[in-house]
Structure 1
Amino acid sequence: MTSPEKSATPTVGAVPDQLAPLRAAVRYGLVGLIALTVISAIIATSLAGLPGLWGTLIGAAVGGGFILCTVVVVLSTAHSNPGTAGAVLLGSWLAKIIVAIVVMVAIKGMTFYDKYALVGTIIAAIVVLLSAETYAILKLRVPYVDPMPESGQNDKK
């Protein structure tokens, strides 16, 4: 006799939790970003010294913060109406772009960081975080439709 297979989808009552994949994406993204930052810091510091470490830290903050902020905004506006959610998402994108440009312009002429470590970490952070988020969303199976009504409770017109 085999036991029934447990669902990989967290449920709230009888309806699956629709926000579970987004929470998992944030969790996996943070773990991936921390791992990337440590590995990148070790490599960049061994190759470029202290400027490599600074380049890695700035790159992880800019690249990782940019991607994780989007997931957090989507998660926080999940229960809002579509117009509000869209406006907040677009506003957050504008704010993130402005912050990224300001940071890059502010450090442009400075020499305390390694430019290769910065760019490499930004690119790696984007790839790692998008991969972690994709994995989280694909791993958790949440239905896109409402469950069928129980027998005997069908709509009658």
Structure 2
Amino acid sequence: MTDRPAAAPGPTPDTSGATRDMFRRILRQLTLLVVVLAVGGGVVGYLAAGQPGLWGALMGAGVAALFMVGTVATMLLTADKPLHVASAAGVGGWILKLILLLVLLALVRGKDFYSPGAFFVVLVLAIIGSFVIEARAVLHSRVPTFEPPHPPSEGQA
């Protein structure tokens, strides 16, 4: 029998802090990406398809913001929680966002006030941009992937 304290249920402060820093960086960059896509996509969409192109691009940027920023915000809020809590929050948020997306798509189905092409192009650019931002942040982060166990203190066998 050892007198060692039980392991903490969540990540250590070092891991939690590094994880939060990584998610903050991702959140800032994704927010900038959504703004650039909304403005740039809106201008290009308007020039290509008029008012429907503008609305399609803005809707695409809005859906991208909902998914990308929502996921990172959830992970940032649960960075210091145990893995099962963070996972449950991520999956629950994903299901909620998927339901909202399906409702939105059902509401605009067959409508001509927006351009489906502009909507699609902005979403594809958002997915590619999000992948690049997240991959780069993870590869350059200082989040430990393994925490060695603490050595036993003197007098313990």
TM-score by length of 1: 0.79
- The answer on whether the counterparts of 2:34 and 2:64 sit within 8 Å (CA) in structure 1 is no
Counterpart in 1 of 2:141? 140
CA distance in 2, matches of 1:130, 1:69: 15
Counterpart in 2 of 1:28? 29
Identity of aligned residues (%): 29
Matches within 5 A, 1:1-157: 15=14, 17-18=17-18, 19-146=20-147, 155-156=153-154, 157=156
Q: Give the structure with the higher percent helix.
A: 2
RMSD: 2.3
Counterpart in 1 of 2:9? none
Moved more, 83-92 or 118-127: 83-92
Offset, 1:37? 1.9
CA distance in 2, matches of 1:147, 1:26: 30
Unmatched 5+ residue regions in structure 1?
Answer: 1-13
Q: Which has the higher contact order (CA 8 A, sep 6+)?
A: 1
CA distance in 2, matches of 1:83, 1:145: 18
- The answer on whether the counterparts of 1:28 and 1:133 sit within 8 Å (CA) in structure 2 is no
- The answer on whether the counterparts of 2:30 and 2:69 sit within 8 Å (CA) in structure 1 is yes
Moved more, 96-105 or 36-45: 36-45
CA distance in 1, matches of 2:84, 2:147: 23
Offset, 1:86? 2.0
Per-residue CA deviations over 1:15-63 (Å, capped at 9, x if unaligned) read 4732111110101111112112222112111110111000000011112
Report the secondary structure of 1:41's partner residue.
helix
Runs (4+) off by over 6 Å: none
Per-residue CA deviations over 1:135-155 (Å, capped at 9, x if unaligned) read 222233333345998xxx983
Report the secondary structure of 1:100's partner residue.
helix
Q: Which amino acid aligns with 1:101?
A: L
Per-residue CA deviations over 1:62-116 (Å, capped at 9, x if unaligned) read 1232122111111111222222222221111110100000001100121110110
TM-score by length of 2: 0.79
| Aligned positions, number | 141
Q: Which amino acid aligns with 2:153?
A: D
CA distance in 2, matches of 1:84, 1:42: 41
Distance 1:15 1:91, change over 3 A: closer
